[in-house]
Amino acid sequence: MATLCRPAVSVPEHVITMEETLELARSRHADHPQLGLALRLMENTGVRTRHLVQPLAETLAHPGFEERNKLYAAEAKARVPLVVRRALEDGELSAAEIDMIIYVSCTGFMMPSLTAWLINTMGFPSHTRQIPIAQLGCAAGGAAINRAHDFCTAYPQANALIVACEFCSLCYQPTDTGIGSLLSNGLFGDGMAAAVVRGTGGHGIRLERNGSYLIPGTEDWIAYDVRATGFHFLLDKRVPGTMEPLAPVLRSLADEHGWDASDLDFYIVHAGGPRILDDLSTFLHVRPEAFRHSRATLTEYGNIASAVVLDALRRLFDEGGAADQARGLLAGFGPGITAEMALGRWSRTPGRSRKETR
């Protein structure tokens, strides 16, 4: 049975606080007719700090889409290997034992994907399968876990590596002054994460079931408008309310598995904002404390897109994990509006490794 091992997470060294973010909004948008609303929305995110791949002055400049995308590629190559090496160590595997790499990112573009560069430079076999995922945005972290689960279920002796790299600050657009854009300027941060999913062996979450769901008619609620200046993020004001229709979907997935979504031992979900977590607590009848790891990621790093789920899971590992066979839910939410969901049990006893089964 596929096991999701401890994720490795890294954030860039440049930090911006919420106080600095609010002051920037006041100074750069002093004449904005809805500045007061934007400031309140940013304060209500619960974000205290975010990490940026560049110093703040360079982040605020816009040298053009071409230069930004070059920076995305250069910084990904410089920073991703660290989390990959740590994830392999935590999964007790070598690069030679990886059969598939799933790379998720929605904040830059490379073709071939970074997967090709990783294979060529980090010792992964040339026959390693590659699955780059871009357009699922924040939901891609959950999708990567699910596709790795599917792969390792189909090939029980195989192992998959998940890599998430998000430099949201490279999507900052100084000319976008809508409320959704201003809120995004105070919400999103940069971060990288990686995790191994083993077909056999390893300890962590033994994945048992996964599912996907798209809320009909919402494909324009979270979107990119791609222009000469790059990716312009579009965020509909109805997005924070999407947990009301999605909570029954999470409950249905658990019901199909014979579990009660209101009575699980741990919850690892994408923290797009505080209302997402508050509404899940309400509609699933779960104590707010159950989402403490997701909320901690939001507070310390902001919304780091596809890497949120992996960072929240890393925090559960760092807390000491859960009891053996504890039942849990993982979920990522993003454009579509799409939910990528998984159920699994915590396993403290590693199964047999691939080497032991040979």
Residues 84 and 128 sit within 8 Å (Cβ to Cβ): no
5, 106, 138, 165: the catalytic one is 138
Distance CA 296, CA 90 (A): 22
Which positions ≥6 away from 261 have C-beta within 8 Å? Answer: 250, 251, 253, 254, 255, 284, 286, 329
Encoded amino acid at 351, one letter? G
Q: Are 335 and 42 in contact (CB under 8 A)?
A: no
Residue type present at position 21: T
Cβ distance 329 to 290 under 8 Å?
A: no
For residue 310, CA distances in Å to 5, 52, 142, 295, 317 come to: 10, 18, 9, 13, 11
Asked if 162 and 197 touch (Cβ cutoff 8 Å), the reply is: yes
List CB contacts of 270: < 8 A, sequence separation 6 or more: 138, 139, 141, 142, 276, 294, 308, 309, 331, 332, 333, 334
Residues 6+ apart with CB under 8 A from 305: 106, 107, 137, 138, 140, 141, 164, 166, 168, 188
219 CB neighbour count, 10 Å cutoff: 13
Strand partners, 233: 224
Quote the CA–CA distance of 288 and 280 in Å, as a whole number. Answer: 9
Residue among 23, 3, 262 at smallest CA distance from 151: 3
For residue 83, give both structure tokens: 């989390």
Q: Is 5 a catalytic residue?
A: no
Instruction: Give the integer Cα–Cα distance in Å for 167 and 218.
Output: 25
Q: Active-site residues: which are they?
A: 138
